Structures are given as C-alpha cells and as structure tokens.
Amino acid sequence: MVTTSSPTPASAAAATSAAPTERMSGAHAIVRTLEDLGTDLVFGIPGGAVLPLYDALHGSTKLRHVLTRHEQGAGHAAEGYAQASGKVGVCIATSGPGATNLVTALADANLDSVPIVAITGQVGSNLLGTDAFQEADIRGVTMPITKHNYIVTDPAEIPSAISAAFHLASTGRPGPVLVDIPKDVQNGFLDYHFPETLDLQGYKPVTKPHHRQVAQAVDLMAHAEKPVLYVGGGVMKANASQELLEFAELTNIPVVTTLMALGSFPDSHPLHLGMPGMHGTVPAVAAMQRADLIIAIGARFDDRVTGDTSTFAPNAKVIHADIDPAEIGKIREVAVPIVGDAQKCLTALSKEYRKKDVQPAADVKQWHDYLRGMQERFPRGYEPTDDGLLNPQFVLEKLSETVGPEAIYCAGVGQHQMWSAQFLDFEHPRSWINSGGAGTMGYAVPAALGAKAARPDKEVWAIDGDGCFQMTNQELTTAALEGFPFKVAVINNGNLGMVRQWQTLFYDRHYSHTKLREENAFTPDFVRLAEALGCEAIRVTCEEDVVPAIKRAQAINDKPVVIDFIVGQDAQVWPMIGGGASNEEIQYARGLRPLFDEAESAAETPAEIDETIQEA
C-alpha cells in the first residue's frame, strides 16, 4: 500500500478552477464530478442514505448505472471493469449493511492493486456516532483495506474529494479508495466547479527510476550466468507489456509471469517459462530456484511464489523494481532496489543495456539449454480420471482452443482457477482477470459482468467452480436484464475442490464438509437455475459434447450462457508445492518430485517419467 500524509477533502479543496460555477446539490455534484472525470458506468444498489444521489443519477445522460443484485457483486464488477479497461471502476452502496457488503471487494482490490472508487452513503451528520438506523463506521472498517478513504462533511468538498479519490486510486500503486458522504451533505448545496489541480500534501509517488540504480542493475545483468525475469501484476497495471517484450528480447533473459501477470508476456514466446509458485510450471520454479540473478518487475515475492523463504532462490542476487517502495526488501533482501513505474523502469533498463553494449556471460547458453530441457521433460499435462466423468483440464484445453486468446477470461478461486492459469493460452494483456491475493470465492461472475461492460467488443468467459458459482450467480440476472451476454463455464465436481484436494493430500482423506451435492444428483440444478435467472443453459457430461457446447454458447449473443460441465471429483491440480514447503519440494504429479540437479535429472527420460507417473 502506498502511504500518504492522509490527504483530506479540505486540503484537496484547495484546488482551483477558472471555470464558471453552477449552483447544485451535493448529490448532483457527485454525478457531475464523475461525468467530468470521464466515468461512463457505475455499479450499485440504492438505499435510504444514497437516495439523493440516486435521484441525481436519474437525470444523467452521460452516466450509466448498472443495478446489481448484491453490493459485493457491485464491487467485483467495478474490479472487472477496471481490470479489463485500465480505467477506474466505480461502485455505490448505501450506509450500514450496504457499505459493509463492499468490504470483501475492497479487500480484494487492495491486495491486487485494482483502481476502484467506492462511494457510500452515510447517515446524517447530526446522527453520526448515535447508532442510528443503518449506521456503520465504514471509514474505520475499511481503513486497513483501502489505499485511502474520506468522509465528506461539506458539500463544497465533493468535487475535490471525488477527484482526489480517482487520482489516488489510479496513480502510484493503484488501489481502492472509499468516499463516505452523509445524506445531509448530499442534500446540501454548493457552487460547483471541477478542480483543475489537486493539493494532496505528501502524496508524490516516484515514477521515474534513479539512473544510478538502473546502471547498477545492468552491471549485475552483465555478469549473470543464470538470470531470470520475475514479472508481476505491476507490469499489467503500468501497461508495460510492450516494454517487457522488448527488454526480454534485447537481453535474452527467460521470463516467468505470476498469476496476476498472465498475458503480460505471450505464452507462446520461446523465452516464456510459465507461472512460478505453488501450482506453477516446473521450468518456472526451477528457473527461480537455480537462478543467480532475479530481476523482479512489479512483483512482491508473495508466499505462493516463494514457498519457504529460507530456501527460495538460495544463490540469487535480486534486482527489485516496484512503484511501491514498501514492497522492496519486505520479503527478500535486495541487491539493487529500483523505485519507479514498471514501464519507465523497463524503458530505462533497455536504454542502459544498449548503452553499455552488454554481452551475455559465456555460460548463459548452458542456462537456456537446462531450462529447455526442463520444458521438454515436464510439459503441462494431467492424469486421466478413473470415474468416467469429464476431465476438467480437458474442458479448459478445449475452451482455449475453441475460443482463443483474443477473449477475456475471468476466474473464481480454487482448482478451476489454477487449471485455467495452466491450460488457457494467454497472448495479450488484460485477457486474464482473477482474484489473486485475497482468493475471493464468488469473484468470477460479477467480474465478468464488469469486464463485459468495459469491453462489449470482447468475448468474455467466466470460469467458475460450483462452490464459487453458488455465491454470486444472482448477478446473471443483472447481466441478462442489462444486456451483458458473457459466458460461464462451471467446472462442477460437486465439492469444494481445492479444499478436498488438501484433505486428500494432508488430512488423511477426511472430507469434512466439502461435499456440495450427492453423486449423480444436481442440487441445485445449475441449468434450471441459470434459465430462471434469464440465461441460456447447457449441461455437458461427455468429451464429445464439450466443443459443440462451447460453439453453441459462442453463437448466442443476446443473453448470458451457462455451461455446466460435470467433472470428476478427484481430479487434482499438479504441479503442486505444499503450503509453507520449499520450492525444492515441487511435485510434478502425484508421487513424482522432479530432481533439479542436472546430473540426477539427466537419467530421467520422458518415457521413464511417464512410467513413474503411472506407477504413482
């Protein structure tokens, strides 16, 4: 989180404008400010404390409001909108439970650095602190999970407060900002003018990297024999995919992309090793573990990537470039820190690399040969099911082949999320939207709603598990009524799949409260449920029907489509590193642990590996 000196609406109100003023209510000023900021769409639900704002929205010709069925859905839809478009997403809720229903989405946006602004109504100023009807201290509740938040106490502060919220949400390290506005402030009057400048004391994020650190970083690269580019979601937030591609090709350094960075570097590129971490590819994990230099760009060394930090990349020096100085050195000691915007950092590194005419170390070819060998010996794959039901990985492979990389894919959280990350092919930025840091179940459907609202020209697929789908499927009604015809692929194994996998591997198969339905029963029946919510629905139970169902869904563009894929309950996500374990303990498949040492690994041929898998 970017720390500031707590800019307030009062300080932001020091902004000035030469534009003529117009007398209006605070509620109308909220709408006008959003319009002047270029906002075209907001998600929300009305309630008593925001009725003045909703009355003002009724007269807007520039601002479309999407009525969601739950405030959490509004928050995730704002996230999906922001992730797909690169713009600030906006959600609105009333006071009390309306505002607290936004908390999960705000926490999610905070951990994944998503720029959203939440506008909440509040009880009248004279009732604050009296436990009035639907009063909640939403500022206090959300202070730890927002980049910043305000309560506006004067109608005259509204234009500057909303403008400051957008600026804070979208600059530096992006994140959620909440603006709480009491009902009497919405009803009050002001002379409106849009602020041309903002005075946010103490908030000056560093975006341009220091040349000395850039030069030191390039010097380290010049002597590295086993370098790897560790790319995080910050590259996506900075719109730096092209700069990343140019830098990787200039330096010929292998690339790993985290869960939040998928699509920032083409999967098909020969330098790409895949995703590192708990369910990453063996080559990506091996690259991190055996590297002598890690160049981290917009990544935060989170625990799902590092595993046991004491054994993570033991021989690697680290260059860490990030917009947020608080992340640098927080988890891993850094040899060269670079504070700055990822796009500017990559541009500066490329410029310095060319200037110094760096020649790669003599042993770099051996490094590339080693990693290519790992890719050949440990390709992506999966074990066949033994219950006659669909294999979930097969479904996602066929979805990727049929739909292609031009679509936007939104995933919930769990096994289906990891299989999607492994088996979908990502070639473009902003084509993959998911909940990374918070791991929020119920994310996919409302996020897909927001993504489709942001990019109506794109084919949008929500990929959900049956557990996640039951949390937020009500937003399909929103999509049906508002005209957002995205598609949903439900990977239905009748269980909380990832929890069941852990119970299988670490809890002696004690399947405590993870079964969601009885075998061969459809309770709830997702086909009938989807139809009741205004969608077209299809159920698929055999391999030959997978591609025809996907194509049928693609042909329907006047309503959302739900495909209920019935898959085996015992399919598991591999590779896997147990929680808190060393990355050295990665298992490629059940019972098979790759040996990273070149001498030991050379004895294992692909045929021998296949035989070991079958025995396991």
Q: Per residue in 496-540, pLDDT tens?
A: 999 999 999 999 999 999 999 988 788 999 999 999 999 999 999
**Residue 580 and residue 89: Cα distance in Å, rounded?**
35
**Residue 567: per-residue pLDDT:** 96
Which residue bears the tokens 């077209």? 536
The C-alpha angle 305, 78, 44, rounded to 5 degrees, equals: 140
Give the pLDDT band of residue 462 (cuts 50, 70, 90): very high
pLDDT band at 129; cut points 50, 70, 90: very high
214-223 mean pLDDT = 96
Q: Measure CA 616 to chain center.
A: 35
Tokens describing residue 201: 């004391």
At residue 230, the pLDDT reads: 98
Q: What mean pLDDT is predicted for residues 586-591?
A: 85
Rounded distance between C-alpha atoms, residue 275 and residue 267, angstroms: 10
The per-residue pLDDT for range 180-213, each reduced to its tens digit, is: 999 999 999 999 999 989 989 999 999 999 999 9
Give yes or no for a contact between 582 and 275, defined as CB atoms under 8 angstroms apart. Answer: no
pLDDT at 4 over 70: no
Confidence grade of residue 1 (pLDDT, cut at 50, 70, 90): very low
Tokens found for residue 12? 């932001």
> pLDDT (tens digit, 9 = 90+) per residue, 529-576?
999 999 999 999 999 999 999 999 999 999 999 999 999 999 999 999
d(CA 319, CA 314): 14
Which band of pLDDT confidence, cut at 50, 70 and 90, is reported for residue 596? low
- Residue-wise pLDDT for 275-291, tens only, equals 999 999 999 999 999 99
Q: Cα torsion at 450, 456, 460, 462 (round to 10°)?
A: 30
Helices (H), 291-363: 303-306, 342-355
More confident residue, 58 or 591: 58
Q: Give 477-488 pLDDT, tens digit per residue.
A: 999 999 999 999
What is the distance between the alpha carbons of residues 82 and 273, in angstroms, rounded to a whole number? 28
For residue 469, what are its two tokens? 């789908």
CA 418 to chain CA centroid, Å, is: 13
Radius of gyration over every alpha carbon of the chain, rounded to an integer in angstroms:
25
300 pLDDT tier (thresholds 50, 70, 90): very high
pLDDT of residue 16: 45
The most distant pair of C-alpha atoms in the chain lies apart, rounded to whole Å, by 80
Separation between Cα atoms, residue 190 and residue 185, nearest integer Å: 10
pLDDT reported for residue 311: 96
Q: What is the mean pLDDT of the chain?
A: 93
pLDDT of residue 592: 81
Percent of the chain's residues with pLDDT above 90? 87
Cβ neighbours of residue 583 closer than 8 Å, sequence gap 6 or more? 285, 288, 289, 306, 307, 308, 311, 312, 577
Q: Which positions ≥6 away from 586 have C-beta within 8 Å?
A: 282, 285, 575, 576, 577, 593, 594
Instruction: Report the alpha-carbon distance of residue 530 to residue 221 in Å, rounded.
Output: 54
User: Nearest to residue 534, comparing CAs of 477, 472, 469?
Assistant: 477
Helices vs. strands in the chain: H and E counts, helices first:
26, 20
Annotated catalytic residues are 71, 133-134, 183, 498
**Looking at residue 94, what DSSP letter applies?**
-
pLDDT at 589: 86
The whole-number pLDDT of residue 597 equals 56
Contacts of 599 (CB under 8 A, 6+ apart): none
Q: What angle do CA 240, 243, 247 make, to 5 degrees?
A: 135
